[in-house]
Amino acid sequence: AAMAYQESKWDPEARSHMGAYGIMQITAPTAQDIGLIDPANPVKNIMAAAKYLDQLRALIPDNAKEPDRTYLAMAAYNVGIGHLTDAIKLTKIQGGDPNRWRDIRERLALLSNPKYYRKLRNGYARGEETIQYVENIRALHDLMIWVETQHNLMNQSLEAMLARISLTTSDGLGARVIGRPTTSEVAPAKMASDGVMTRD
């Protein structure tokens, strides 16, 4: 869900200047590769994107573990597996960890610098945009998890409160109306000398 929002703000008719289409912004060549015939269909678009993301995840080096593996697959979804491979290669050259997103992220930023991209196989890329892309998805995902957790906690608190109310308002024979005394609680009335009804 977070990735779909980053791609299109959940708009199934979104279209980019690069020709990407649909809720997951799939380009025509990618759609053809993964067999997506109707990119305007949001369900098919999402399913195709999930399939493509799995394919990219399989291309990430085996030593990359989760969650880094998913972060790298998302980066490849945005910038292309070729440019991500260049960033991984550059990470190795500079002594970073080629299996960690935090290290590869630093090298993605260098793909727009001619000092580096001219020596790499796939050339120039807007690596800074890819970094922001992945970090936005991570932040939104964390926010969604937090909101869901708070929602569940509120539901649990409400259920507990209702359970306590049910227990405290039961007289053993069934529920009673809060604030209204039962018959046994009403003190016997007597007539005062002035004719006014009073209670002991």
The pLDDT assigned to 167 comes to 76
The pLDDT assigned to 45 comes to 95
Supply the range of the domain harboring residue 18: 1-134
User: Which of 7, 13, 128, 159 is the catalytic position?
Assistant: 7
The pLDDT assigned to 83 comes to 98
**Alpha-carbon gap, residue 76 to 53, rounded angstroms:** 9
**Alpha-carbon gap, residue 154 to 14, rounded angstroms:** 35
The CA-atom distances, in angstroms, between 140 and each of 6, 82, 120, 134 are 9, 26, 32, 10
Q: What is the mean pLDDT of the chain?
A: 86
The number of distinct structural domains making up the chain is: 1
Task: Report, as ranges of residue numbers, the positions in the chain whose pLDDT lies below 50.
Answer: 173-200
The pLDDT assigned to 120 comes to 96
The pLDDT assigned to 169 comes to 66
Q: Is residue 15 part of a domain?
A: yes
Give the tens place of pLDDT for each residue, 66-93: 999 999 999 999 999 999 999 999 999 9
The pLDDT assigned to 164 comes to 81
What CATH number is attached to the domain comprising 77?
Answer: 1.10.530.10
Element (H, E) at 191: strand 189-191
The CA-atom distances, in angstroms, between 104 and each of 1, 27, 76 are 24, 25, 12
7 is catalytic: yes
Cα diameter, the chain? 110
The pLDDT assigned to 170 comes to 60
The pLDDT assigned to 175 comes to 46
